[in-house]
Structures are given as C-alpha cells and as structure tokens.
C-alpha cells in the first residue's frame, strides 16, 4: 500500500535547530520546497527555531500538544567532535522525537543529520547526497496519509 504525499489542507509544524546553521538553513529550504511542491500552503507552515538538536524533542512535544498540526518535521545537524557529546545529543534527539510521535499519535519526521564531518552534513543538505530536509518533509506528508488509511481498517 502506498500513501499519497498530497499536502492540500494540511497544517505542518517545523522545528529547526539553529546549531550548525549553514547546514540547517539548507535543510529548512529543502523542507519548505517539498511542502510547497506537495501543496501545503505557505500560511499552513509554522517554523520554530530552537538552539540545537537536543532541544528539538521538547519543542516538538509542545507543538504536538497544541493539536494544531497534522504532522511535524524536526530538522537539525549533529556533527561528531572529539568528545562523546555527539552520541548523547544524537541519541537523545532521536529518542525524544520518536517518543513525541508515539505519545501524540502524530507523524513527526526525523530530519536530523548525524555525520562525522561538516562536509558530510552539507552533502546531505542540498549537496551531492540530496536534501534530507526535503525527504523528511515528504515523509511527514506520506505518514499523514498512511495513518489515515490504516485508521480505516
């Protein structure tokens, strides 16, 4: 079964981490392009900035709790450094974002890059490896429709 990616009539929330802004700005551009391409109206998209990827789950939790959104897209970039900080931030962001989706029965797309270098992140934010922000936005739309189909079973 394939769910359609139409965004007509949907309201989408985007939580965007500012840290590694050269990367996350590109992820946001990709997400907004995808949402527009799939019919989500500009005035039906809310973008909320958070300091970094670690803060994405709390922001997504608050956004989900409003009941205003059909789906959320979380965007960020965690680049490995010389300390274990990477593992903690990446792991907690992933776990927290997944928890929000399950707790609110709401599609919450994970568009957080976890890379070893900034070059790898840029390649996945509109470079040679595509744009994971675009992909995350399409995933959110697909999941909205998939859950609606499954609910009818």
By three-state DSSP, how is residue 152 classified?
A: coil
Query: Can you list the positions of beta strands (E) in the chain?
Result: 12-17, 45-50, 71-79, 108-115, 125-127, 130-131
Tokens of 53: 């990827």
pLDDT in tens, 6-43: 999 999 999 999 999 999 999 999 999 999 999 999 99
Q: Which residues are catalytic?
A: 85
Span 122-126, mean pLDDT? 96
The answer to whether residue 2 scores a pLDDT higher than 60 is: no
Binning pLDDT at 50, 70 and 90, where does residue 1 land? very low
The answer to whether residue 108 scores a pLDDT higher than 80 is: yes
Q: Given this structure, which CATH class describes domain 24-140?
A: alpha beta
Give yes or no for a contact between 97 and 64, defined as CB atoms under 8 angstroms apart: no
Q: What does pTM read for this prediction? A: 0.94
Give yes or no for a contact between 100 and 108, defined as CB atoms under 8 angstroms apart: yes
Q: Radius of gyration (Cα) for the chain, nearest Å? A: 15
Span 124-137, mean pLDDT? 95
pLDDT in tens, 54-102: 999 999 999 999 999 999 999 999 999 887 888 899 999 999 999 999 9
Mode of pairing for the β-strands spanning 71-79 and 12-17: parallel
Residue 86: the pLDDT is 87
Span 130-144, mean pLDDT? 97
β-strand partners of 130? 127
- The domain locations on the chain are 24-140
Residue 153: the pLDDT is 86
Tokens of 7: 């965004």
> How many angstroms separate the CA atoms of 132 and 136, rounded?
6
């Amino acid at each position: 079964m394939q769910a359609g990616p139409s965004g007509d009539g949907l309201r989408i929330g985007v939580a965007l981490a500012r840290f590694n802004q050269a990367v996350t700005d590109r992820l946001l551009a990709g997400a907004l392009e995808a949402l527009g391409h799939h019919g989500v109206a500009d005035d039906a998209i809310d973008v909320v900035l958070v300091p970094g990827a670690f803060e994405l789950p709390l922001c997504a939790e608050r956004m989900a709790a409003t009941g205003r959104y059909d789906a959320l897209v979380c965007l960020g970039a965690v680049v490995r450094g010389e300390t274990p900080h990477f593992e903690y931030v990446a792991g907690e962001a992933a776990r927290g974002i997944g928890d929000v989706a399950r707790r609110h029965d709401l599609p919450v797309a994970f568009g957080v890059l976890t890379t070893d270098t900034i070059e790898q992140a840029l390649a996945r934010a509109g470079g040679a490896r595509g744009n994971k922000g675009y992909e995350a936005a399409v995933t959110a739309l697909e999941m909205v429709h998939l859950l609606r189909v499954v609910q009818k079973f």
